[in-house]
């Protein structure tokens, strides 16, 4: 003890200090007068003292009537004033609180504790205080765990029944009682097997020794049984899925727990599903029958409609065949009539008209020769002009007949490897025959290019292109320009572009004559080439661009040496006029030829764009 009695015994003090609980002595004034070591450790904090403190400061919930000096002390109180352990909150000397359990008793000095006048001052109150800090936490945790277990058992949808080693019920949750139709209070202490497992599903007795519960209590093995039957309070059968498991306390088997799930909702769902599937199958069968009947009716209707459509189509085909046969006969008659007129026209041109024209030309040529010199110069000039006109008409008829034979397939092109400059020269000369000498000027550029073409037909095509852009009609007349002076130069230029030869023919007039252009397109198409028309910006008239494949030709070849006048003609147009043109302004071919201009080079070097074009094999003549 911290304060020993004046005549105290050391042994008694040592015993009190060894006590596991705090011991506190309180005098009649309610003041702590002594305490053992455990009490000092429990209540004192550094810098404070326990002895001298008021009891109610340390134990605010303590009953003050039990203090020896209390004037309200009950008369019927036990002389020793022993009290049962009471839980309350204690307060340390620094004010912190902790839970305790307090037991108190009075200590007397051997004299009467109370006399007629009240309390004698030698009485003390002894308190035994047990610190419950750890105990309260453990109890609270146990209580919380117990409450949680109870809530889990109450919330579980499965039935849970616990038994002791004799198979008597010691635990049951609400779900188990509800499934079996009992009240939970009615099941405690009753034998589980005899209550709900006494019979098999067929009603025959089910011995306890053969049940899974008995085997679990004997061997500690777990069992899971599907489709087990439990008997409810009213005797009804309850199908369940049942599980038994042992309950052990360490290694000792102390009981078993049986859990079971009511299969009746599941079986009801299964039955409902089977009924729904049956209804669905019946509905499917009914719909299938209806669909089959509707399909049969639709098929029959479709067959009828197909037969009607087939019959109607056959009638329409027969009517169309008759109509088309009549139309074919009419078209055949028209074609035969056109073919007869075409043949008549060709015969007229080739025989009836061609011969008399040749005869007239020869006679006019003979008259124009005037061997006797008897004609006037004006008459001689007229005769020459008429002879040239007949020659032009004869040439035009020959070219038209040649195109007709080529277009009809009675005559094919004869390809041969030739130099394109010779073909261009022949085309220019042929153009002079068509338009007459001295009517236009020429600017010709034809480099040496070897191509595999029909030279006669290609020269004929160039001649008609030149005649078309020159604007000279079949009578030999040239339209009068509204602006007065009009440059009558015709440009003929050739160049190689890859595997094709491009020839440009450009003149002062738009062209498009119904005689010249079809002949050219037919010849170009027979060569597998293209003929395009273009409007040249900034210049009058139009331009034709003719493209034909080189074929087996070698293309551009090395330039052969030429004489000075020929070289001069390719460079300087003024030199051509001064050196190569005679006083009459005519060359040996009957027309004036100039070197190519800068616009010709630009046109040949650029890509062909715009205008109207025709692919040879597919275009219409």
- 31-73: pLDDT as tens digits: 999 899 888 888 988 878 888 888 888 999 998 888 887 766 6
Q: Are 443 and 492 in contact (CB under 8 A)?
A: yes
Share of the chain above pLDDT 70, in %: 70
Tokens standing for 328? 């074919």
Higher pLDDT, 615 or 48: 48
Cα separation, 145 vs 139, in Å, equals: 10
Q: Rounded to an integer, what is the distance from CA 399 to the centroid of its chain?
A: 66
Beta-strand ranges (E) seen in 263-304 are none
Note the pTM of the prediction, 2 decimals: 0.40
Query: For residue 434, what pLDDT is reported?
Result: 80
Question: For residue 188, what are the contacts with CB-CB under 8 A and spacing of at least 6?
Answer: 169, 170, 172
CA quadruple 72, 77, 79, 84: dihedral, nearest 10: -110
Other C-beta atoms lying within 10 Å of the C-beta of residue 207: 11
Give the H or E element holding residue 25: strand 22-26
Question: For residue 187, what are the contacts with CB-CB under 8 A and spacing of at least 6?
Answer: 161, 169, 172, 177, 180, 195
Give the H or E element holding residue 419: strand 416-419
Residues in the chain: 621
Q: Are 207 and 288 in contact (CB under 8 A)?
A: no
Tokens standing for 147? 């409450």
Tokens standing for 311? 């019959």
Query: For residue 600, what pLDDT is reported?
Result: 41
Higher pLDDT, 568 or 241: 241
Query: For residue 351, what pLDDT is reported?
Result: 54
Band (536; pLDDT cuts 50, 70, 90) = low
Beta strand 489-497 pairing with 441-445: parallel
Q: pLDDT by residue (tens digit) across 198-242?
A: 888 888 999 999 889 999 999 999 999 888 889 888 888 889 989
Band (562; pLDDT cuts 50, 70, 90) = very low
- What are the phi and psi torsion angles at 339 (to 5°)? -60, -40
Place of tokens 């020459």: 384
Burial class (CB in 10 A: 0-12, 13-18, 19+), 62: buried
Tokens standing for 571? 């460079």
């Amino acid at each position: 003890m911290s304060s020993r009695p004046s005549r105290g015994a050391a042994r008694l003090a040592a015993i009190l200090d060894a006590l596991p609980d705090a011991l506190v002595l309180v005098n009649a004034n309610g003041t702590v007068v002594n305490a053992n070591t455990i009490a000092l450790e429990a209540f004192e904090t550094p810098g404070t003292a326990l002895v001298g403190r008021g009891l109610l400061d340390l134990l605010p919930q303590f009953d003050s009537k039990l203090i020896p000096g209390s004037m309200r002390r009950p008369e019927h109180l036990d002389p020793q004033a022993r009290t049962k352990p009471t839980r309350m909150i204690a307060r340390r000397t620094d004010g912190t609180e902790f839970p305790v359990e307090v037991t108190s008793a009075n200590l007397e000095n051997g004299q009467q504790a109370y006399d007629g006048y009240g309390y004698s001052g030698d009485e003390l109150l002894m308190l035994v205080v047990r610190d419950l800090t750890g105990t309260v936490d453990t109890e609270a945790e146990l209580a919380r765990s117990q409450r949680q277990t109870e809530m889990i058992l109450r919330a579980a949808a499965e039935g849970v029944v616990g038994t002791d080693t004799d198979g008597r019920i010691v635990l049951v949750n609400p779900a188990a009682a509800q499934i079996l139709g009992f009240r939970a209070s009615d099941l405690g202490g009753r034998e589980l097997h005899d209550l709900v497992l006494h019979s098999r599903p067929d009603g025959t007795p089910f011995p306890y020794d053969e049940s899974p519960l008995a085997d679990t209590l004997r061997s500690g093995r777990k069992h899971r049984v599907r489709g087990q039957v439990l008997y409810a309070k009213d005797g009804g059968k309850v199908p369940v899925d049942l599980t038994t498991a042992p309950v052990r306390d360490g290694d000792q088997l102390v009981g078993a727990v049986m859990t079971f799930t009511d299969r009746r909702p599941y079986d009801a769902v299964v039955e409902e599903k089977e009924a729904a599937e049956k209804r669905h199958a019946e509905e499917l069968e009914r719909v299938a029958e209806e669909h089959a009947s509707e399909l049969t009716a639709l098929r029959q209707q479709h067959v009828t409609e197909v037969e009607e459509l087939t019959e109607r189509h056959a009638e329409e085909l027969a009517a169309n065949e008759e109509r088309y046969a009549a139309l074919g006969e009419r078209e055949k008659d028209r074609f035969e009539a056109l073919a007869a007129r075409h043949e008549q026209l060709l015969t007229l041109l080739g025989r009836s008209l061609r011969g008399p024209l040749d005869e007239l030309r020869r006679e006019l040529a003979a008259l124009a020769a005037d061997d006797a010199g008897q004609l006037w110069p004006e008459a001689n000039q007229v005769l020459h002009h008429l002879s040239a006109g007949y020659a032009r008409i004869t040439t035009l008829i020959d070219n038209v007949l040649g195109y007709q034979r080529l277009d009809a397939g009675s005559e094919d092109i004869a390809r041969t490897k030739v130099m394109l400059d010779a073909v261009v020269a022949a085309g220019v000369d042929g153009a002079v025959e068509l338009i007459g000498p001295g009517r236009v000027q020429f600017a010709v550029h034809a480099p040496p290019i070897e191509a595999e073409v029909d030279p006669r037909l290609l020269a004929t095509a160039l001649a008609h292109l030149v005649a078309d852009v020159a604007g000279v009609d079949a009578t030999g007349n040239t339209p009068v320009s509204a602006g007065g002076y009009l440059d009558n130069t015709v440009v003929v230029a050739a160049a190689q572009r890859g595997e094709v030869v491009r020839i440009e023919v450009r003149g002062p007039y738009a062209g498009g004559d119904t005689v010249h252009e079809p002949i050219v397109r037919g010849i170009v198409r027979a060569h597998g080439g293209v003929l395009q028309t273009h409007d040249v910006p900034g210049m009058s008239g139009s331009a034709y661009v003719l493209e034909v494949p080189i074929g087996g030709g070698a293309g551009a070849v090395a330039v052969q040496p030429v004489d000075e006048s020929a070289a001069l003609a390719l460079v300087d147009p003024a030199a051509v006029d001064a050196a190569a043109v005679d006083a009459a302004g005519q060359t040996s071919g009957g027309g004036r030829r100039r070197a190519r201009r800068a616009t010709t080079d630009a046109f040949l070097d650029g890509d062909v764009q715009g205008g109207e074009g025709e692919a040879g094999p597919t275009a219409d003549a």
